[in-house]
Structures are given as structure tokens and as C-alpha cells.
Structure 1
Amino acid sequence: METIHAATVTASEVVTPHMMRVRLMLDDPTAWVSDGTPDECVHLEVGAETDDADGHSARHYTVSGHVDGGFEMEIFIHGDGPGATWARTVQPGDRTEVSDSKGYYGVPDGAGVRVLVGDATALPAIARILAEAGPDEVFHVVCELGDMADARDLPTAATVTVDWRLGGNGRRPSQLKDALLELTDTHLDPAAGAYIWVACEAKDSRAIRTMLRRELRLPITHFRIVGYWHKDLEHAIRVWNEASEATKAEYMALWRDDRSDEENWVELEPFLQKMGA
């Protein structure tokens, strides 16, 4: 059960044509818990009347920075869903609720280059990861946008190569898997010890995970793959709603707290395929 915190919107601004930054002041800042990761996200109450694929009426967004008494979020505007509508119309003084944060980025000891791969929804997390990186770190970034007008500077003390690509984001087929394959002889050679962080559309993320684990045989300790959104959310919800109670119970049992998320996905991926998800 998530801990919920009341908050007030104090500012809203346009970052790029399809990205909004919203600042929240927490009613009780001492009660809100940040997990400390640079890609941390929260569930945000946006007044949705329908659940997402994970059963939440709230929607999750990246914490792009901390401020006194609260934090900032960046919200990518794609489509006309409840999250996008909230971000477009929210005004200072509006009230909302958020959860404690959760993040995924965790570079193992001894890792080499950090490979960050994502679509436009991942850009806030990528920007913060780079902003908090040290001068001894080396990054290769692949970011896929639906509109190059959403590209922006990514200030950092680290050494960074950025590859902007046009595709995906619900407009075109994604190129992210192919972009990673292009790195097979360099950064994705298992001997290179790269750490790969990927955040994008859910099915695209699952295909990338399968490639890294089965085809490239990279150790699961050196990658973290996250599905940030569903291109066909209605299908994902329908598959879950039509599943038997026994199937749902089996699914829930596969996700164990004594294993890492990527260890859980070893069993979860074939199970989802069997469900038709």
C-alpha cells in the first residue's frame, strides 16, 4: 500500500513543446520519502477515472529535481489522456496527492560506460542522471523523439555522447532496439562491462530486455529495463481483466521481493507472452 502525501502546485512551465515542468509543495515535506535515485518517480493523482495497466488511477512521473519543501516533475505530453490533460491545465494553487518515490537506476561496482536509452518520456530521467553524474563517468545516450523540437541541452560534468533519433513515441516504429544493436561491437560487448538503463514504451522495453539477455547474453546485473507507458493501454488492461483469478494469482506470485526486478522478469516475460500481453 502506497503512502500518499497531499501537495499544492506552486508553478508550471513549458520546457519544450511537449514537456511540462510542474513544481509541488508538500503539506508535510518531512513525511515524503525520496528513494535517492536520479530516475525516481512518483504516482501523481490526476483525476483519472480509469486505471492504468498496473491498476493505478494515479499516473507516474519522473521527479526531475528537489526544491525546498517539495520537488519538481516533468511530464511528457502525448495524447489526450488524464495525465496530459492535467499537465496542460494545472495552475498554481491546485491541489493533488503523490506517493513516495521509487527509482530503478543503479550502476554496479566496476561497470564501464553507462548506456542510457529511452524515448521522450525518459528524457527527464536521463537529464537528471547526467546532471548528477561525476566527471569520472562516461555515458552513451540514445534518445528517441517524436519531434526534434523536444531535444534540449543535457548539462553534465561527465563525458557524454548523445545520439538523438526520430521515431517511436506512438507516432512511428521505435528505433531503440536497432540503436542498441549498433553498439554490439563496442559498448555492448560483455567484456566492456557497460551498464545499460532503458526506459520507453512497455512492449519495446520487453523486446530490448529479451535481446540483451538472450541474444547478447549480458548479465542481468548490468542492465535495468523499464516500461514507462503502454502504446495500447486498452489491450493491456483488457488482457488483465479477462484473466482468471488463478492466472492473476500466479502472476502476482512471480514477482518476489527477495529478487531483483530483472531476476523477476526472467520468469515474468514468458508468462506475459502466454497471457497474450
Structure 2
Amino acid sequence: METSHAATVASVEQVTPHMMRIGLRLDEPSAWQSTGRPDEFVHVEVGADTMDADGHDSRHYTVSHVTPDGFEMEIFLHGDGPGATWARGARVGDRTAVSEPKAYYGPPAGPRTRVLLGDATALPAIARILAEAREEESFRVIIELADMADARDLATVAEAAVEWRVGGNGGGASILKDLLVDLAGDQLDPAAGAYIWVACESVHSRRIRQLLRREFALPLTHYRIVGYWHADLERALRVWESASDETKAQYAALWREDRSDEENWLELEPFLQRMGV
């Protein structure tokens, strides 16, 4: 894992049937610095003996609230993977370690509408974005759940229209792409100047990115699309492990720190398609 910060589980709460909120108290709170951005996440040591698609044996979770001596994070309980297993068994006093935070959400300044779209894994970030929004901000929010029992109140002082839909989340076909077109079509005109943030399953996130870029020609600064998880992680790992060292080096060279992630995706998407991912 990256820079590691030791932590102790300070609280455990069942938020909804499939969402746990776990509070961590850092051994050295001053050494860990929040990005200040509401979709920030950390990698967490959960005792996994398998890698994720990015080559980590840790798992990443959204920081839902920053506290004086650490932070809270929310974990969506889907399946029996190492992260969900760790969260279900977490007890106050348990020890773990976390990374420095990273974040993506960054709307340009101005009175433009923010469109937030995501599945259940995006709900913690969406909740924090709305909770920390300013009164003059305006939001269109669409959240896709497998079970409406996981819907909850999303407090905000901003103007926000929130819609809940059932679908996707590994239990069926995602309807997020269609919902984006149908429910926020007026915001997809580049002249509208909306900022669109999407977080969901990786394959669906890439389809939505292509929609915004190719069909609606939105400027790269007007959206941020994030793949939070892989529906077919085993296949993605097999493709990566079977790739040649030359292919892996080409992939690494495409992801440059001197340009934005969305700029990197302009080259990364066709490269991944050639790889068969």
C-alpha cells in the first residue's frame, strides 16, 4: 500500500441493510491530511490475500466524514469479498492501516448545475457532496440501488432533486446510462455548462464517458467519471496477467501525472479495448 497510517476502529454502525459506517481513530491524526474534497477515498488494509484490479491487496472506501482524530468511511456490503467480510466483522478496538486520501470531484466555479449519478457504491460520496454543498448550488441526483431499503435521507442546504431507481449493482443490467440521457438530457448540452460526476461499476462508467465525449461533445472539464468496482474482476485480472511486459509498460506510460485523469482516458480507453478489457 502507499503511505500507511495506523488506525483503530472507533465505531461501527449499520446505516442501511447493505451499508456499514466505520469510524477510524488514527494513531497520528496530524500525519493524515484530508483533501477537503467530498468524494475522497482511502485504501484500507482488510486482510485480503487477493489483489484488486489496480494491483492493491487493500480495498478502497469513501471517507464519509472527517473527525478531529480520524474519519468515518462507509462500506457497501455486496458479496463475500474481503472488504465486505472485514466490514461485517469489524469491532471497536480492531487495528488496521489506511493510505493517504485521493479524490476526483472538482466542479468548475460558477452557478452551473451539478449532476451526480451513481450506484450504491457511490452513495457515500454523493451524501457527503450534498452535505457539504453551499446553499447557492443546484443538483440533479440519480442513484441506482439493488434494493430500495438502502435509500436514505440526503441532507443538504443546496437545491437538490434526488431520484432513486432500482437496477444494476451486480444484480442486473445497469440503467444509469439511459437515466443520464432521459433525466438529465437538458444538462448534456455543452452550452448548459453542467458539471457531471459519475461513479459506478467500471464497464458502465466507461460507456458513460464515451457517451458524454462522443455523442454530447462535453468538454473534459465538465465531467469526471470513475469506475469504483468491477463486476467481472476475475476476467479483468486474467487479461492483465496474460498481457506481455511490453503491453503493461505501454499502459503505465499512458497514465501521466502531468495531465488530468480524463485527458489520460482519451488514450487509455482505446488501449484497453485493444487489450480486450
Normalized against structure 2, the TM-score is what?
0.99
**Alignment-derived partner of residue 64 in structure 1:** 64
**Alignment-derived partner of residue 41 in structure 1:** 41
Rounded Cα–Cα distance in structure 2 between residues aligned with 1:14 and 1:76: 10
Give the deviation of 1:220 after TM superposition: 0.8
Partner SS for 2:187: coil
Partner SS for 2:30: coil
1:170-181 alignment, distance < 5 Å: 170-181=170-181
Rounded Cα–Cα distance in structure 1 between residues aligned with 2:199 and 2:264: 17
Rounded Cα–Cα distance in structure 1 between residues aligned with 2:238 and 2:185: 40
Match for 2:163: what amino acid? D
**Alignment-derived partner of residue 21 in structure 2:** 21
RMSD: 0.9
**Does the 8 Å contact 1:111/1:222 carry over to 2?**
no
Give the deviation of 1:184 after TM superposition: 5.6
Rounded Cα–Cα distance in structure 2 between residues aligned with 1:88 and 1:55: 24
Question: Which digits, 9 at most, give the CA deviation of each residue in 1:39-62, with x for residues without a partner?
Answer: 000000000000000000000000
**Alignment-derived partner of residue 213 in structure 1:** 213
**Alignment-derived partner of residue 146 in structure 1:** 146
The alignment covers a number of residue pairs equal to: 277
Structure 2 runs not aligned, ≥5 long: none
Q: Which moved more, 1:110-119 or 1:92-101?
A: 110-119
**Alignment-derived partner of residue 11 in structure 1:** 11
1:1-277 alignment, distance < 5 Å: 2-110=2-110, 112-183=112-183, 185-277=185-277
Normalized against structure 1, the TM-score is what?
0.99
Partner SS for 1:63: strand
Give the deviation of 1:2 after TM superposition: 1.7
Give the deviation of 1:109 after TM superposition: 2.5
**What stretches of structure 1 move > 2 A for 4+ residues in a row?**
none
Match for 2:8: what amino acid? T
Rounded Cα–Cα distance in structure 2 between residues aligned with 1:9 and 1:231: 29
Question: Which digits, 9 at most, give the CA deviation of each residue in 1:187-224, with x for residues without a partner?
Answer: 11111100000000000000000000011111111000
**Does the 8 Å contact 2:140/2:184 carry over to 1?**
no
Structure 1 runs not aligned, ≥5 long: none
Identity %, equivalent residues: 68
